[in-house]
Amino acid sequence: MEPVWRNTIGDVLRRSAERKPEQAALIFEDRRWTYRELDEATDRLARALLKLELKKGDRVAAYGRNSDGFVLLWLAAAKAGLVHVPVNYALKGEELAYILRQSGSRALFCDPDLMSDAEAVKDGGEVEVFGTIREGESLDVLRMAEKGAAEPPAVELEDTDLVQLLYTSGTTSAPKGAMMTHRALIHEYIGSIQALDFHEGDAPLHALPLYHSAQMHVFLMPYLMLGATNRLLEAPDPANVLKVLKEEGINSFFAPPTFWIALINHPDFRLDSLQKGYYGASIMPVPVLEKLREAAPELGFYNCFGQSEIGPLATVLRPEEHGERPDSAGRPVMFVEMRVVDDRMRDVGPGEMGEILYRSPQLCQGYWDKPKESEAAFSGGWFHSGDLARVDEKGYIYIVDRKKDVINTGGVLVASRDVEDAIYTHPAVQEVAVISTPDPKWIEAVTAIVVLKEGEHVEEAELIEYAKERLASFKVPKAVHFVKDLPRNASGKILKRLLREEFAKVTR
């Protein structure tokens, strides 16, 4: 019987290795992997994982910072038919235990310096296999990838098999594991390549955490699919990123708005070789975008919007579209259908606010072990994103807010972005997050949490007066609080849930 043609994550890497065996695929610190070496190493590691008595469908948690070992573990798990569970390395205690317990992970691999955090919670769940992602004293994925036959494991795989649980960021509620298949992710890779103008000759830099779907699935994996050389950093440090951009001829780079803000405020800010600048994961304030475009006029910016459940890229605003619509998130990518609807799932008119719905082969299969949430998310045959937006006559969307972040003040809905954009224009403001806080008169009061630029000072009353000159009266913050930093996850999303919890306790 003729072998059946497959299209899985492992097959994506194998084909790149067949086309470009000696091309550098991945560079991390002093290690350089060609496509042939990466393909063979992940074959060996996949076979080694199965020898640990893990079987197809078992969940394997990866708890660590960016490294070549992190990439190898992901690719090997995919080849072995295991379900990869990337875990935010900032999680500890019950937050970490929740992911391991909820996913039912049988194996946990972590960075050596995170070993004590992992050991503290692993016995509370079903973890049986415990190893390290980098050089360590226990099962070490890099060493495991050096031994044995470089042959694909004997596992029957289909592109409809589950390959990863992408846990949502938990900015508004407890994280949920979006069930991603090989097919969903590969569709997303093709859409990313087409919409973001990726080319095999690009020199991309990957600095944001790979446990997050944007860096892994919108950038690293599509570039591996093309056969490009990928430069990987352990963490997104502004000074180091600017150094690598300058010295290594990087022409493609992604970061959330918060990191672009850090770059442009750095004394060494220069983007000489960069041609493609990508932003996403949270809303980019228009004043910041305008400052970036003015500082780097030759750089083409792409706004990438979506969410983990769709792989995560759903819409893109291309460089040539920024001039006319700088506040838009663009239009759907190749394999995504989108609607903006009211509470009865009726399409809203141009300029009206509604919830974004998706239909796409990129979508998850639902949430792991959460049937009620899965059914609700896909009610009516469309995926309900929880994002509120407006759409114009040409199909461009304008993100208003997360549905749970809209502020209902005195019966009037206020989008936090409108207020944030106004406050961002104040010369003393570095960052701002606008939230609701309980109020006896307004029920929910518009409240601004502000980080000032170093050396700057401004009073609460002055900022409120500044906002009054630029906003409708009902949008003006009732209070302004100053903080040193805003809480955010490693992908750059500001955790407004934590801010609401903190400042709900503040009495005025």
Instruction: Say yes or no to pLDDT of 442 above 90.
Output: no
Q: pLDDT, tens digit, for every residue of 324-353? A: 999 999 999 999 999 999 999 999 999 999
Give me the pLDDT at residue 493, please.
Answer: 74
Which carries the bigger pLDDT value, residue 163 or residue 174? 163
Instruction: Say yes or no to pLDDT of 242 above 70.
Output: yes
Q: What ranges do the domains of the chain cover?
A: 9-17+25-158, 194-403, 406-503
Give me the pLDDT at residue 115, please.
Answer: 92
Q: What is the mean pLDDT of the chain?
A: 92
Give me the pLDDT at residue 169, please.
Answer: 66
Provide mean pLDDT across the span 311-332: 95
Q: Using CA atoms, how far apart are residues 59 and 105, in angstroms rounded to an integer?
A: 4
Intrachain domains 9-17+25-158 and 406-503 with the same fold: no
Q: How many Å separate Cα 436 from the centre of its chain? A: 25
The hierarchical CATH code for the domain 406-503 is 3.30.300.30
Give me the pLDDT at residue 199, please.
Answer: 98
Give me the pLDDT at residue 261, please.
Answer: 85
Instruction: Say yes or no to pLDDT of 171 above 60.
Output: no
Q: Comparing 27-36, 39-48, 77-86, 127-136, which segment has the lowest mean pLDDT?
A: 127-136
The answer to whether residues 205 and 250 touch, using CB atoms and an 8 Å cutoff, is yes
The hierarchical CATH code for the domain 194-403 is 3.40.50.12780
Provide mean pLDDT across the span 4-13: 93
Q: Comparing 4-8, 284-288, 309-313, which segment has the lowest mean pLDDT?
A: 284-288
Which carries the bigger pLDDT value, residue 503 or residue 403? 503
Instruction: Say yes or no to pLDDT of 401 above 80.
Output: no
- Give whole-number Cα distances, 168 to 177, 211, 219, 486, in Å: 6, 11, 18, 19
Q: pLDDT, tens digit, for every residue of 187-220? A: 999 999 999 999 999 999 999 999 999 999 999 9
The CATH class of 9-17+25-158 is alpha beta
Q: Which two tokens stand for residue 438?
A: 């309980």
Give me the pLDDT at residue 91, please.
Answer: 87
Per-residue pLDDT band for 67 (boundaries 50, 70, 90) equals very high
Closest CA to 201 of 228, 231, 232, 230: 228
Give me the pLDDT at residue 413, please.
Answer: 75
204-206 and 83-87 strand pairing? unpaired
Q: pLDDT, tens digit, for every residue of 243-268? A: 999 999 999 999 988 889 889 889 99
Instruction: Say yes or no to pLDDT of 507 above 50.
Output: no
Instruction: Say yes or no to pLDDT of 125 above 80.
Output: no
The answer to whether residues 12 and 39 touch, using CB atoms and an 8 Å cutoff, is no
Q: Which two tokens stand for residue 321?
A: 């579209």
